[in-house]
């Protein structure tokens, strides 16, 4: 009976993550680019051509991690609305999955599934996960990842050597959130 319950929770989790991805991915190219997305697209093109440094933050450009991450789909798929937006779809879906593991540590599996399902369909999170207007979704993922690592260390009482490496990994994730 217990194995069946755990299997149902795992299937529910997989369905929620798949739904979160599909909600964010379907019609990814609609609507057309917003004015901020045009700026990000031009900025990434200039970065890839070597005409602009990602560290040119003083010129009103977004932080460098957004350029580095967004340039990967630009290289693979070319410059398009899809290439620009797939990054936030990916990190938005990862944030939904990560919320499950954080909530499971704090409140249990049932509450974690509910929290994950609510974030999967949250209108604001879905909207920002479909548009590359700014790097809020990437920043949120790395902040949640840093919290997850520290909470995992605390709840599992890791030995000193593993705990130190986890703290360093959490610090790196927090640093990425600042670069985003």
Q: What is the pLDDT of residues 25-51, one digit of tens each?
A: 887 777 666 667 667 777 777 777 777
Cα radius of gyration rounded to whole Å, the chain: 18
pLDDT digit string (tens) for 141-176?
Answer: 888 888 888 887 777 766 666 677 777 888 888 887
Please determine, for residue 1, whether its predicted confidence score (pLDDT) is greater than 60.
Answer: no
Tell me, what's the pLDDT at 49?
Answer: 77
- H and E: helices and strands count for the chain: 8, 0
Identify whether the C-beta of residue 47 lies closer than 8 Å to the C-beta of residue 71: yes
pTM confidence score: 0.80
Mean pLDDT for the stretch of residues 120-141: 83
| Mean pLDDT to the nearest integer, 79-86 | 82
The pLDDT of residue 63 is above 80? no
Q: Provide the pLDDT for residue 161.
A: 63
pLDDT for 4 = 59
Please report where in the chains the tokens 């509910």 appear, as a residue.
Answer: 114
The span from the CA of 173 to the CA of 112, in Å, is 22
């Amino acid at each position: 009976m217990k194995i069946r319950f755990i299997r149902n929770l795992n299937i529910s989790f997989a369905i929620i993550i798949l739904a979160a991805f599909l909600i964010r991915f379907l019609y990814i190219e609609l609507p057309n680019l917003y004015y901020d997305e045009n700026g990000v697209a031009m900025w990434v093109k200039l970065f890839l051509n070597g005409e602009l440094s990602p560290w040119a933050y003083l010129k009103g450009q977004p932080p460098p991690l957004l350029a580095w991450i967004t340039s990967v789909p630009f290289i693979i798929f070319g410059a398009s609305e899809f290439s620009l937006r797939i990054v936030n779809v990916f990190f938005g879906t990862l944030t939904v999955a990560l919320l499950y593991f954080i909530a499971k540590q704090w409140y249990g599996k049932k509450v974690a599934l509910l929290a994950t399902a609510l974030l999967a369909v949250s209108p604001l999170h879905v909207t920002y996960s479909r548009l590359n207007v700014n790097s809020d979704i990437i920043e949120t993922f790395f902040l949640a990842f840093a919290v997850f690592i520290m909470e995992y260390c605390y709840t599992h009482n890791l030995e000193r050597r593993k705990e130190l490496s986890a703290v360093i990994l959490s610090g790196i994730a927090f640093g990425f959130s600042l670069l985003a």
